[in-house]
Chain A
Amino acid sequence: DAGVTQSPTHLIKTRGQQVTLRCSPISGHKSVSWYQQVLGQGPQFIFQYYEKEERGRGNFPDRFSARQFPNYSSELNVNALLLGDSALYLCASKRSRGANYGYTFGSGTRLTVV
């Protein structure tokens, strides 16, 4: 089975632009989460979606938004990009909302804002 797939792998954007990152979860996984990882830090939670509904939101500004589609894939949108948005954006999927399942991460999208 394919793992969590993310696209694109790398992206360079200019301050003020908008970006859309995409994620396809492992087949059968209905829960998708997004994390931001800046260099030297652990991942920070942005959003979680389950069955197309937002189930959690981290401490990120409203410039960040996301959605989940009927096939459980997901998009993360970031508007009005700032230099500080430069990071590795990770998508993680999980089989269900149950506690005793680990999250599997995709390979990430490295966003550079210049």
Chain B
Amino acid sequence: QKEVEQNSGPLSVPEGAIASLNCTYSDRGSQSFFWYRQYSGKSPELIMSIYSNGDKEDGRFTAQLNKASQYVSLLIRDSQPSDSATYLCAVRLYGNNRLAFGKGNQVVVIP
């Protein structure tokens, strides 16, 4: 089982719609979870971090964490063409300092 899984294929959403991205993780002891946005040819940029069960909102982004189900999600409201990117889910593994990343989900916002 992979440490972090993002299984959805490319996601196309109309401008103004909600984009929903999901991520599951295998390390039950993990406590810190992150979403990174990566534009083509660029490096990952941290957009959300979440540490407690529930929702965390920052502007148009909402991260949701359910530790019992080992599930993290990211919602992008009012999607804009500038949101077109690959979104990487990252989990800080329990007992060490490294991040485990999913392979990413590509989001395409269609004007």
Is A56 touching B98 in the complex (CB atoms < 8 A)? yes
Q: Is B67 an interface residue (CB 8 A)?
A: no
Binds B, one of A40-48, A65-73, A77-85: A40-48
Q: What's the least CB distance linking B41 to chain A, in Å?
A: 9
Is B104 touching A42 in the complex (CB atoms < 8 A)? yes
Is A102 touching B34 in the complex (CB atoms < 8 A)? yes
Looking at A88, A100, A102, the one whose CB has the most chain B CB atoms below 10 A away is A102
Q: Which residues of B contact A102 (CB under 8 A)?
A: 34, 46, 49
Mark each residue of chain A from 23 to 61: 1 if its CB lies under 8 Å from any CB of chain B, else 0: 000000001010100001111110010100001101000
Q: Is B92 an interface residue (CB 8 A)?
A: yes
Q: Is A2 an interface residue (CB 8 A)?
A: no
Complex: chain A residue closest to B34, CB-CB: A102
Residue in A90, A97, A106 whose CB lies within 8 Å of B97 = A97
Q: What's the least CB distance linking A46 to chain B, in Å?
A: 9
Complex: chain A residue closest to B46, CB-CB: A102
Is B45 touching A105 in the complex (CB atoms < 8 A)? yes
Known: A40-B103, A42-B104. A33 touches B97 (CB 8 A): yes
Q: Which residues of B contact A33 (CB under 8 A)?
A: 97-99
Bound-state Cα–Cα, A55 to B98, Å: 9
Is A42 touching B31 in the complex (CB atoms < 8 A)? no
Is A107 touching B42 in the complex (CB atoms < 8 A)? yes
Interfacial residues, chain A to chain B (CB-CB below 8 A): 31, 33, 35, 40-45, 48, 50, 55-56, 58, 88, 90, 92, 97, 99-100, 102-108
Known A43-B88, A56-B96, A99-B32; further 15 A-B contacts with Cβ < 8 A: A31-B97, A33-B97, A33-B98, A41-B103, A42-B88, A48-B98, A56-B98, A97-B97, A99-B31, A102-B46, A104-B46, A105-B45, A106-B43, A107-B42, A107-B43
- Complex A-B, nearest 7 residue pairs according to Cβ-Cβ distance, in ascending order: A42-B101, A45-B98, A102-B46, A105-B43, A108-B43, A102-B49, A99-B32
